[in-house]
Structure 1
Amino acid sequence: MRHQSAFAASALAITLALAACSPASNAPSDPVPTTPPAAPAPAQPAPPAASANVLGLEGLGDLKLGQPVPAGSSWASRGAQASDSCTTISSPDYPGAYAIVEGGKVQRITLGQRSDVKLAEGIGVGDSEADVKKWFAGFREEPHKYEDAPAKYLTAPNAESGDAALRFEIGADGKVKLIHIGMAPVLGYVEGCS
Structure 2
Amino acid sequence: MQAVVNPKYPGLSVRVADEGFDAYVWGNDFSFEVDVYGTPELGKPVDQWALEQVLPYRKCYGIDPEEFASYRDATDSAVFMAYLDDRPVGHIVVSTNWNGYAHVDELAVVLAARRYGVAKALLDVAQFWSRKKNLPGMMLETQNNNLGACRLYERCGYVLGGIDHLRYRGIDPQTREVAIFWYRLFN
Instruction: Please indicate the TM-score interval, normalised by the length of the shorter structure.
Output: under 0.3
The structure with higher relative contact order (CA 8 Å, sep 6+) is: 2
Higher CA-based Rg: 1
The normalised TM-score by structure 1 is 0.25
